[in-house]
Amino acid sequence: MYQDDTTSFQDPLVEADKLKLQGEHLEAIAICEKLLKEDLEYQEAYEEIGDNYLSLREFEKALKALKMALKINAHSANAHYLLGFTYSSLGEWEKSIRHLEEANELQPNHPEILRCLGWSVFHSDNKVKGLVLLERALTMSPDDVLIICDLSVCYLNERNFDRTVSLLTHALQVEPENEKARDCLETALFFQREFNKLDR
């Protein structure tokens, strides 16, 4: 079958990234494993494998791949970010914060790194600092629905219903079909009504 010449020379890592974005995680991992057979020091391939295992919620496999990436390059902001994200998913807040702070030093003021760092800091019982970091992330990327949802969940936790409702209303203006934002908004409005009743 005829193939366009440009596709035959496509970077396999770009192809793996495309598959990841399409949710084809095992196929993406297979491409990266093939790359590692040719070059065991291919740091980005380990990062891509870790990212895919993270999406599959296979955290131990993600950790293994990402630690290999850091062995090859201890100054990879992406590997530190992904490790921080993985530890956050496991509720290991201190380890998460350590890696995310390292990622933030290597790549300062990146909204996605700040989002994850703010979330981990908030859940490690430094709520004020966590909210400040999340607000900074939102200032840099005001229409990022992931940041908005994380920040609103934290404000809901603090019973700041007005800020929560305002954030989630904005999230639904940006992405009207976002179910997470819609569910969070319904929950926030419910608790706001209940607490208003108690205040009366």
Average pLDDT of span 33-45: 94
Average pLDDT of span 165-178: 95
Average pLDDT of span 148-159: 94
Q: Which residues of 8-41 are buried (b: 16+ CB within 10 A; e: fewer)?
A: eeeeebeebbebbeeeebeebbebbeebeeeeee
Average pLDDT of span 96-124: 97
The whole-number pLDDT of residue 199 equals: 64
The domain segmentation of the chain, as residue ranges, is: 11-74, 79-137, 142-200
Average pLDDT of span 147-163: 94
CB 147 within 8 A of CB 137: yes
CA distances 13 to 25, 75, 101, Å, are: 13, 20, 27
More confident residue, 1 or 191: 191
Per-residue pLDDT for 9 more than 60? no
Look up the pTM and report it: 0.89
CB 104 within 8 A of CB 81: no
The whole-number pLDDT of residue 3 equals: 36
What is the rounded distance in angstroms from the CA atom of residue 110 to the CA atom of residue 33? Answer: 29
Q: Under 8 Å CB-to-CB from 42, ≥6 apart: which residues?
A: 35, 36
CB 131 within 8 A of CB 118: yes
Computed over every residue of the chain, the mean pLDDT equals 92
Instruction: Report the first-to-last Cα separation within the chain, whole angstroms.
Output: 73
Nearest to 89, CA basis, from 63, 128, 127: 63
- Is 79-137 in the same CATH topology as 11-74? yes
- Which DSSP symbol is given to 144? -
Average pLDDT of span 11-19: 91
What is the rounded distance in angstroms from the CA atom of residue 70 to the CA atom of residue 46? Answer: 9
Average pLDDT of span 170-196: 90
Average pLDDT of span 9-38: 91
Average pLDDT of span 135-163: 95
HEC-encoded secondary structure of 106-117: HCCCCHHHHHHH
Per-residue pLDDT for 10 more than 80? no
**Tokens linked to 69:** 């990436």
Per-residue pLDDT for 106 more than 80? yes
- Which DSSP symbol is given to 107? S
The whole-number pLDDT of residue 191 equals: 87
- Which DSSP symbol is given to 125? T
CB 49 within 8 A of CB 31: no
Average pLDDT of span 186-197: 86
pLDDT digits (tens, 9 = 90+) for 57-104: 999 999 999 999 999 999 999 999 999 999 999 999 999 999 999 999
Pick the CATH number of 11-74 from 1.25.40.10, 1.10.8.60, 2.40.40.20, 3.40.50.2300: 1.25.40.10
CATH number of this structure's domain 79-137 = 1.25.40.10
Residue 142 binned pLDDT confidence (cut-offs 50, 70, 90): very high
Nearest to 48, CA basis, from 117, 56, 101: 56
Residue 5 binned pLDDT confidence (cut-offs 50, 70, 90): very low
